[in-house]
Amino acid sequence: MNILVIGSGGREYMLAWKIHQSLHCERLFIAPGNAGTDLFGENIEIDVNDFGAIGQFVIENKVELVVVGPEDPLVNGIRDYFKNDQLKDIAIVGPGKDGARLEGSKDFSKRFMQKNKIPTAKAQTFAIESIDEALSYLRQCKMPIVLKADGLAAGKGVVIANDLKEAQDTLKSMLLDKQFGEASNKVLIEEFLNGIELSVFVLTDGKHYVTLPEAKDYKRIGEEDTGPNTGGMGAVSPVRFADADFMKKVTERIIEPTVHGLQNEGIDYRGFIFIGLMNVKGDPYVIEYNVRMGDPEAQVVIPRIKNDLVELLVKVADGKLGNYQLEVSEDYASTVVMVSDGYPGSYKKGKSIQGLADVTNALVVHAGTKQQDYEVLTNGGRVLAVTGMGSSLTDALKMSYHGVDSIHWEGAYFRKDIGKDILRLHLD
Ligand code: AMP
Ligand code: GLY
């Protein structure tokens, strides 16, 4: 069948990499893709939110399966657009607008968790009309405290304030100065959870689900988790503290009530659910839902899946996931993200990348790259990631860092401590 992947980052590179290996894949298109995705298919220059152009392309090119990578088109209703007459038989992976609110509105997702008794941090939502109430509520809160813009804010809408003044200033700039535009019309004031984060991924057809391998992501720009948050600087899978006991708690307390809760709301959710959770002394609490795969988590989760991804995704889209057996490699995977100097602040694009062909024992995952004549140029903040695999986390990391050492451009930066916390946790 012909397949279209929507998006242009490392996550979409991984989807294309795996879909391309399927016997069911005839022609693969990536919209818009990057300098690496054209190894697996044809990049097409269509914006991820231009549903009219996407729909027309799908019809003209006899696409039968559409896999939506990023959250934006999902929150904007791409699945709902595909309900129109000419497109209604196309299989599409990703929830409709109703389900995408799990990511698109933190207030909705908090209420969803409360209603379904899913463990999560305590929180209250405030709008501009109740700013005085919010400021006085803050005075009773224990510090640090977490402030979250309700809507999508490109990963920047969460601030952890260490003292009351910082919390009040942040609240004012979100609600009064509209720091994140419409996204901060409402703000959640949320209890700070102290623990270790874990990303859990579920694919559901609305009734059944499979749990994909878990991963740990490294969000801060600096080593030892310092500095501002980024989209993610690296990831590892599996995560050893997520043992059978812990995952049983995650399944019973979080995954099952989430899938059933969606059903009870009448939401026919077909796609990925990414559960960001905190392990607080052995108990899992949800920090956030995303309605897509993680990036860079996809770079370590997808290579560990042995099944044919197209078969799996078609079952998700068709509502036929019952009795599906996922096969997962026992190998460890790690990925190290290389970014442009200045990221997550401002950075330059267009730097020439050298050494890509020298990486032979690891997978170079393109994210923000662009092909120009015979050169590959940087074209974003997170430029690429290098995924290594091995029978131990140490071996996987060796492969990743060996690959990273071969790649150069002016101003390239990466974290040297990916996975180290986990190794410490288990070796000390
Ligand atoms: P989010 O955009 O909701 O993933 O939040 C970004 C990051 O903020 C998370 O990955 C956590 O590191 C941190 N965070 C969010 N909520 C909390 C919380 N309630 N307690 C502690 N850290 C949090
Ligand atoms: N790595 C976190 C995310 O994809 O949101």
Q: What is the pLDDT of residues 396-418, one digit of tens each?
A: 999 999 999 999 999 999 999 99
Q: Is the CB of 316 under 6 A from ligand 1?
A: no
Q: Which of 287, 288, 291, 421 to mutate to test the pocket of ligand 1 (most atoms within 8 A of CB)?
A: 287
Residue 146 exposure: Cα atoms within 13 Å on the Cβ side: 19
For residue 363, the CA-to-ligand 1 centroid distance in Å is: 29
Question: In this model, does residue 354 exceed pLDDT 80?
Answer: yes
Question: Quick one: pLDDT at residue 428?
Answer: 42
Distance CA 249, CA 424 (A): 24
Question: Which of 199, 230, 289 has the most ligand 2 atoms within 8 A of CB, as the residue to mutate?
Answer: 199
Instruction: Name the residue with the closest Cα to ligand 2, atom 4.
Output: 294
Ligand located closest to 144 CA: 1
Q: Is 152 in the pocket of ligand 1 (CB under 6 A)?
A: no
Which residue lies with its CA nearest to atom 5 of ligand 2? Answer: 294
Structural contact between residues 206 and 270, judged by C-beta atoms closer than 8 angstroms: yes
The residues facing 366 across adjacent strands are: 384
> Is it the case that residue 177 has pLDDT exceeding 90?
no
Residues with CB under 6 A from ligand 2: 217, 231-232, 290, 294-295, 297
**Residue 404 in contact with residue 336, Cβ under 8 Å?**
yes
CA–CA separation, 137 and 171 (whole Å): 11
Which ligand is closest to the CA of 69, given by its number?
Answer: 2
Neighbours of 97 (CB within 10 A): 16
Residue 13 confidence (pLDDT) above 60:
yes
Cα–Cα dist 131/241, whole Å: 40
Q: Would you state the pLDDT for residue 320?
A: 97
CA of 229 to the centre of ligand 1 (A): 10
Q: CA 376 to CA 397: how far, in whole Å?
A: 25
Residue 426 has pLDDT above 70, yes or no: no
Q: How far is the CA of 298 from the centre of ligand 2 (A)?
A: 9
* Nearest ligand 1 atom, CA 106: 3
Selection from 213, 282, 203 nearest residue 249 by Cα? 282
C-beta of 146 in contact with ligand 1 (< 6 A): yes
* Mutation pick for ligand 2 pocket among 71, 197, 217 (CB with most ligand atoms within 8 Å): 217
Expressed in angstroms and rounded, the spacing between residue 148 Cα and the centre of ligand 1 is 9
Atom of ligand 1 nearest to the CA of 190: 19
Least confident of 13-17, 172-176, 295-299, 345-349: 172-176
* The ligand 2 atom nearest the CA atom of 297: 1
pLDDT of 21 strictly over 90: yes
* Distance, CA of 289 to CA of 268 (rounded, Å): 16
Q: How many angstroms does the Cα of residue 5 sit away from the middle of ligand 1?
A: 29
* Residue 172 Cβ < 6 Å to ligand 1: no
Instruction: Please name which of 232, 214, 227, 222 lies closest in space to residue 384, comparing C-alpha atoms.
Output: 232
Instruction: Decide: 158 in ligand 1 pocket, CB within 6 A.
Output: yes
Q: 249, 283 in Cβ contact below 8 A?
A: yes
Q: What is the mean pLDDT of the chain?
A: 95
Contact 119, 286 (CB under 8 A): yes
Identify the CA nearest to 219 among candidates 228, 210, 209, 211. 228
CA distances from 417 to 15, 29, 186, 318 (A): 26, 35, 36, 41
Closest atom, ligand 2, to C-alpha of 11: 4
CA torsion, points 307, 313, 314, 318, in degrees to nearest 10?
A: 130
Q: Is the CB of 219 under 6 A from ligand 1?
A: yes
Q: Atom 6, ligand 1: which residue's CA is nearest? A: 158
Residue 205 pLDDT level (bands cut at 50, 70, 90): very high
Give the pLDDT confidence of 228-256 residue by residue, as tens digits: 889 999 999 999 999 999 999 999 999 99
Q: How far is the CA of 288 from the centre of ligand 1 (A)?
A: 7
For ligand 2, the distance from its centroid to the CA atom of residue 374, given in whole angstroms, is: 31
- What whole-number distance in Å separates Cα of residue 30 and Cα of residue 51? 14
- CA nearest neighbour of 94 among 15, 13, 183: 15
**pLDDT tens by residue, 140-174:** 999 999 999 999 887 778 899 999 999 999 999 89
Which of 146, 180, 196, 225 has most ligand 1 atoms within 8 Å of CB, for mutation?
Answer: 146
CB atoms within 10 A of CB 32: 15
Q: Is the CB of 286 within 6 Å of ligand 1?
A: no
CA nearest neighbour of 91 among 263, 319, 363: 319
Chain-centre distance for alpha carbon 400: 20
Residue with CA at minimum distance from ligand 2 atom 3: 294
